[in-house]
A and B are shown apart, each in its own frame.
Chain A
Amino acid sequence: MTLLDQIEDRLKGVLDPETGRNLIAMGMIYAIRIDGDRVEVDMSATTRGCPLAEMLRLGVETAVLGIEGVRAADVRLVWDPPWTPARMAPF
């Protein structure tokens, strides 16, 4: 299993508490970049004013840092392009 697979697998355990779906299925994970033992993640939330956005970001950071071989994680909230329901995987 590659490091990218491990990261995606771990992020599937981070759930949106409203829908119960993981952040990848919600289309909130925009990009994952790996540079050696350093991981960068671009993610978003359902709306820019979402009170959960920063907590989800910290949750993703914690999840990624929990993977063996990852020494640093830089998780950023991005709003361009904005999240829309069209990004979600079908229910």
Chain B
Amino acid sequence: MPGKQLSPWTLAWFGAAMLFLLLSLATAMSGAVGPGDWSRGAGFAAVHLFTLGWLCLMVMGALVQFVPVLTAQPLARPRLALPALLLGAAGTLALAAGFLWLDGHEAMRPFLRAAPVLLALSFGLTAAMIAPPLLARASRALSEVRMVLLALVALAALWISGTAMALQLGGVDRMPDILPEGLPLHVLIGIGGWLSLAAFGVSYKLFAMFLLAPEQTGPVRRAVFGAAWLALVAMLGAGAALLAGYPVGAWVFAALAVLLPIAAGFYLAEVARIWRLRRRPKPEGNMLWSRAALMFLALASILAGPGLWQGGVWAEAAIFVALAGWLSLLTLAQIIKITSFLTWIQIFAPRIGRSPVPQVQQLTDPRTDTLCLMLWSGGVAAATLSLLLSWPSVFRLSVAALFLAALAVAVELVRIRRLSHLDPSLRPASLPPVIRPVPVPVPQPEIRT
């Protein structure tokens, strides 16, 4: 059946994530966060609007869309996509509101107890959709699938650690006391576990597809998995010890300071191999800017060592580069491509073989995309420097640049959906809704009689 590999709500996930990105950056611009200033309620709210609302929802939406591509099997229960998104968005808003209790807004405290429930339902529904195709016998052998499964284990650990802290802040007395020691572990599980490993897994497939490179597994890919697995075991072991009332030994962070950069290094070597073997002579903007995101991954890996050993500005810079440079730039670069691809499929796929159709890249404006992503990258670089040098005013200006870049990408996505960059002669008379795609029409072959 045409379109069976497409989730009709993917663009709704992307749209919601973009709104959370803009909201988080607007909150940050208002002064909620800054160098050495991350632990106020508004700061925690801004950070979670970014990590949970923007990155986590985006990764979940991407998995809902791409697990069928990775596994060549349909989602198990595709109708759960919309409720999973709505619950995830509600959980994010509840958590952000709940953190405002730390700033003296007493009425917000119950939201800290509601948020974990909403998020558990969202994560559970998403797992119900993607776990069956991922766990199928034929899928489990694939390196990209194994990496995504590892990421899902990290997501469960992320929820457990986050819930323990949220409920502790929310005044639930029976929760184990894991603050503040649990916080760095929670950050590591989120960035080095869930978000990065999911990005590793999906990118193995997408990079090979976009670059027309052979899909291969091999010792380097196994080394990425091995280092990531060991790092996750260390994180889970430390988390379990903390929940049981034992302190986290310094050896855990020492081990992670070695294992996480090793995993990232092998991953970068694997992507470099894909790049070398590509048959596409001129990679498009999404891949050129993904390459910039990979450079930010390398920088985050370098900063992770001093960040884990010394904390302070090094940890702030490492976390910021990982979230805004590596994960967000990768996502922004690919969301432009994926939105144009899904729009093309929706509008032009039924015309294949019947009439001339444009290429996918004709739906985008490469110059605008380059300017947006260049502004984002410059903002990340400046913000990172301002964190290392503790310059609050430069940090705020840098975040303003990030906001402008994100806004420009959001406008560009709407223009792609409206086919604004396409020659008018190639545009259909009517266009599908910007957010909710209509089902892909089934072309009926003309039978000659």
Contact = CB atoms under 8 A, between A and B. Distances in A.
Nearest to B360: A17
Interface string B40-75: 000000000000000000000000000011111100
**Which of B71, B209, B353, B440 has the most CB atoms of chain A within a 10 A radius of its CB?**
B353
Contacts of B443: 55, 58-59, 62
Interface stretch (B87-95, B264-272, B343-351): B343-351
Contacts of A50: 5, 69, 209
Contacts of A14: 352-353
Interface stretch (A1-9, A28-36, A41-49): A41-49
A43 B350 CA distance: 18
A71 B448 contact: yes
A17 to B, nearest CB: 5
Interface string A72-91: 11000000000011101001
Given A17-B360, A47-B205, A58 B445 contact: yes
Contacts of A68: 448
B212 to A, nearest CB: 5
Contact of A51 (B3, B212, B442, B445): B3
A62 B448 CA distance: 10
A24 interface: no
Contacts of B278: 85
Nearest to B284: A18
Nearest to A66: B446
14 contacts: A47-B209, A47-B215, A49-B70, A50-B209, A54-B4, A58-B445, A59-B353, A62-B353, A63-B353, A65-B445, A65-B446, A65-B447, A85-B212, A88-B279
Nearest to B73: A49
A18 to B, nearest CB: 6
Given A13-B353, A47-B69, 7 more contacts: A52-B345, A52-B349, A55-B440, A59-B349, A59-B352, A59-B443, A61-B445
A45 to B, nearest CB: 10
A88 to B, nearest CB: 6
Q: Is the interface of A mostly helix, strand, loop or mixed?
A: loop
A68 B449 CA distance: 10
B354 A85 contact: no
Contacts of A54: 1-4
A61 to B, nearest CB: 5
Given A59-B443, A86-B214, A49 B353 contact: no
Contacts of A70: 448
A51 B279 contact: no
A62 B446 contact: yes
Nearest to A20: B359
B280 interface: yes
A61 B71 CA distance: 26
Nearest to B65: A51
9 shortest interchain CB distances as A-B pairs: A59-B352, A59-B353, A48-B72, A63-B353, A62-B353, A49-B69, A49-B72, A51-B5, A85-B279
Chain A contact patch, size range: 35 or more
Q: Is the interface of B mostly helix, strand, loop or mixed?
A: loop
A23 to B, nearest CB: 10
Contacts of A48: 72
A71 B257 CA distance: 66
**Which of B73, B213, B279, B352 has the most CB atoms of chain A within a 10 A radius of its CB?**
B352
B6 interface: yes
B334 to A, nearest CB: 14
B352 A62 contact: yes
A51 B72 contact: no
B422 interface: no
Contacts of B210: 18
A41 B209 CA distance: 24
A91 B70 contact: no
Contacts of A19: 212, 280, 359
B279 to A, nearest CB: 4
B301 to A, nearest CB: 29
Nearest to B69: A49
Contacts of B209: 46-47, 50
B227 to A, nearest CB: 27
**Which of A17, A20, A58, A65 has the most CB atoms of chain B within a 10 A radius of its CB?**
A17
Interface in B350-371: 350, 352-354, 356-360
Interface in B202-222: 205, 209-210, 212-215
A15 B447 CA distance: 21
